[in-house]
Amino acid sequence: MQRPGSEPPPAALRRPLEVRRLGLVPYGDGLKLQEELVGHRRAGRVPDQLLLLEHPHVITMGTGTDRSHLLADERERAERGIELFESGRGGDITYHGPGQLVGYPILDLKPDRKDLHRYLRDLESALILVLDAFGIEGRRAAGFTGVWTERGKVAAIGVRVSSGWITSHGFALNVTTDLDYFNSIVPCGLEQRAVTSLEELLGQPVSMDRVMDRVIEAMAETFGCQPDSESRSEGGADSKKSK
């Protein structure tokens, strides 16, 4: 997946990246875990982290949310089993659910990446590399954050950078997502913009494990880091992996 003309730093010089594959995680639990890891990363107790997981059906509102973009009322959300959370990330409203790969990078951007705009563009670059690995052309849209294809938006990005330049929140890539749930919101506040998934683009289901592998490779290339040789697979009795 290496980009033409790019030369990644030697492995010995790359910052380590601990990858955790967490399965299905309630959104509130994901927030708590991120908060803990941000503190540990700031204190230098853990290396950079990449959390890869799925959430049960949930609508999250970023700091820039227009509440008129929430289309499903309380009754409809209850009937469909959709939780509602106010999130500390940037951006507008979005949906998470099974079949969508959510990535939470907990990275220390010091000393040479202390640039929020660059960080957002780097996340987009990594996701475009993932799509390329599946033969899909991904692109940016001028003035917006995320990744689009000819059939619609396939990945949303919303991040937070805490004191000490430690990142949290991240990206959501639609893999085998039930796209009907996006009718509950105006996705990312963008009206008249279609949403799509890898499954829809490829015309067949996609293995979540395979997508996670490509995401790890793309993050390593884009950020010049060294993922741990054996990614940790975690989770309790309710955890699962999409096939």
Question: Looking at residue 232, what is its pLDDT?
Answer: 56
Provide the 3-class DSSP secondary structure of residue 220: helix
Question: Looking at residue 124, what is its pLDDT?
Answer: 98
Question: Looking at residue 78, what is its pLDDT?
Answer: 95
Indicate the domain borders of the chain: 11-226
- Give the global pTM: 0.88
Question: Looking at residue 10, what is its pLDDT?
Answer: 63
Question: Looking at residue 123, what is its pLDDT?
Answer: 98
Please give the span between the terminal C-alpha atoms of the chain, in angstroms, as a whole number: 23
| Superfamily of segment(s) 11-226 | Bira Bifunctional Protein; Domain 2 (3.30.930.10)
Alpha helices, H only, the chain: 27-42, 74-80, 116-133, 198-202, 208-223
- Could you report the per-residue pLDDT of 142-187, keeping only the tens digit for each? 888 999 999 999 999 999 999 999 999 999 999 999 999 999 988 6
Q: Which of 31, 123, 188, 198 is catalytic?
A: 188
Which residue is listed with tokens 């990142």? 167
Q: Which residues of the chain, if any, have pLDDT below 50?
A: 2-5, 236-243
225 assigned to active site: no
Query: Torsion-angle region of residue 117: left (phi > 0), alpha (psi -120 to 50) or beta?
Result: alpha
